[in-house]
Structure formats: C-alpha cells, structure tokens
C-alpha cells in the first residue's frame, strides 16, 4: 500500500538565537508535528485503509484516499487530542473518501440505500442479545466469504459494519465518525448484518447451520 509516511527527525536543543528566530521556531514546530503524526496516526493506517476500501470498494482507490487523508491529517495534527486520534483520523478518511467518490464516480455509484427511519418505525424491537448473536455468528464465517459479502453491501452499510464488527468502534464513536445519530448507526448495523447473513446463505456459501437459522429468522421478521 502506498501510504504516506512522515519520519520524525532528531530535535537538537533550541538555542537562544533560534528562540529569537521565527524560522527556527517553525522548524521546531514541524518536528513536533512529525513526531505527533508518527505517534498518533501511523498506528491506525490499517483501520484507515479498511474504512476507505469499505467506502470506495477498490483497493487502489482506497490507497489514494488514505494518501490524501494523511496529508490532511498532518496539516491538522496540532489540533487532535491523543485519546481521540483514532476516531479523528477515521473521520478525516471518511470525509476524504466521499469527496473522492463525488469527484471520480457517477452519483449512482454511491447513492444511499438509507431507509432506516422508515424501517425502524415498523420493525419489531431488537434487544442487545439479538445484536450480539448476529455479530458472533458473522465472526464464524470464512474470512474470504465474509469480505466478498461485505463488498456487495450498500456503501453506508459497508462502512458501518466495518467500523463496528471489524474495527470494534463503539456506537458513539461510529456516530461521531459518520456524523449520524446513534439510533441511525444501530439501524444501519442491524440492516447490514441481516443483509450480510442473508446474502451468504442465499448465495450458496458454506456457512454454519446456526448462521442459516438466524438468516431465516431475519427474513421472517421483515
């Protein structure tokens, strides 16, 4: 992957002359920014690429998105708090990915299949047990089959299930990254999981019998 990397450089002691030199001060700031970028951003590039690919659907496009996102992140590195670096970076990646899509793809390729509000109003209530059961069953599926099934989901469903079930973000963190209410996050995730399980079972994939049973239950609840 062609990720941008910024190597930190050694910081020499700042003399009294450099304190009086704005150019020298700026060099020190850049060094600090590089160190922060290395510490706060580089560890999360794998998650950044995963999210970018879930939105663009293509590895090469995801690399371009992450490259652009890293440039944006470096420019704003001084504004991020250490404890929020991961969600902050993923927010930048998501925004960069959708900007890239609008520029490079026809609108039809990323139209939102987003009827959560309507479906939620008519859907039976779902408790945490049901969500945990579906997530556990999805985790049992072969990784290659799972990746193919996720790639076939609508864009917003791909990104939501990637953020939650692959990267392990909380509902609150996903809400902050995607800029939608937590209720919408939960609805998207539930729909994404049901579509994922249904597509794997209907497509003839070799999945555990317990997964097929849940898929049948999901279809009967619609």
Q: What is the pLDDT of residues 12-66, one digit of tens each?
A: 444 444 445 554 444 555 668 999 999 999 999 999 999 999 999 889 999 999 9
Are 193 and 216 part of one and the same domain?
yes
Are 142 and 184 part of one and the same domain?
yes
Q: Tell me, what CATH number does 86's domain have?
A: 1.10.1740.10
The answer to whether position 193 is within a domain reads: yes
The answer to whether position 10 is within a domain reads: no
Q: Are 83 and 19 in contact (CB under 8 A)?
A: no
Range of the domain at 52: 16-108
pLDDT of residue 85: 94
Between residues 198 and 93, the one the model is more confident about: 93
pLDDT of residue 139: 58
Are 32 and 103 part of one and the same domain?
yes
Are 194 and 131 part of one and the same domain?
yes
State which of 56, 82, 108 marks the end of a domain: 108
pLDDT of residue 185: 93
Are 23 and 65 part of one and the same domain?
yes
Total of domains in the chain: 2
Are 26 and 73 part of one and the same domain?
yes
The answer to whether position 149 is within a domain reads: yes
Residue 125 has pLDDT above 90, yes or no: no
pLDDT band at 166 (very low <50, low <70, confident <90, very high): confident
């Amino acid at each position: 992957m062609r990720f941008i990397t910024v190597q930190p450089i050694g910081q020499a002691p700042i003399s009294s002359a450099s304190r009086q030199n704005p150019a020298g001060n700026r060099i020190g700031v850049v060094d600090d920014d590089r160190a922060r970028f290395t510490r706060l951003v580089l560890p999360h590039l794998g998650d950044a690429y995963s999210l970018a690919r879930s939105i663009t659907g293509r590895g090469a496009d995801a690399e371009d998105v992450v490259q652009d996102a890293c440039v944006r992140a470096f420019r704003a590195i001084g504004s991020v708090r250490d404890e929020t670096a991961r969600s902050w970076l993923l927010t930048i990646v998501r925004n960069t990915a959708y900007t890239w899509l609008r520029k490079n793809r026809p609108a039809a390729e990323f139209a939102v299949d987003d009827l959560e509000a309507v479906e939620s109003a008519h859907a039976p209530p779902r408790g945490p047990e049901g969500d945990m059961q579906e997530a556990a069953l999805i985790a049992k599926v072969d990784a290659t089959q799972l990746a193919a099934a996720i790639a076939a989901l609508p864009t917003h469903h791909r990104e939501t299930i990637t953020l939650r079930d692959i990267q392990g973000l909380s509902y609150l963190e996903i809400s902050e990254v995607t800029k939608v209410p937590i209720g919408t996050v939960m609805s998207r995730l539930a729909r994404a999981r049901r579509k994922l399980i249904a597509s794997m079972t209907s497509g003839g994939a070799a999945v555990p019998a317990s997964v097929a049973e849940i898929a049948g239950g999901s279809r009967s609840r619609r």
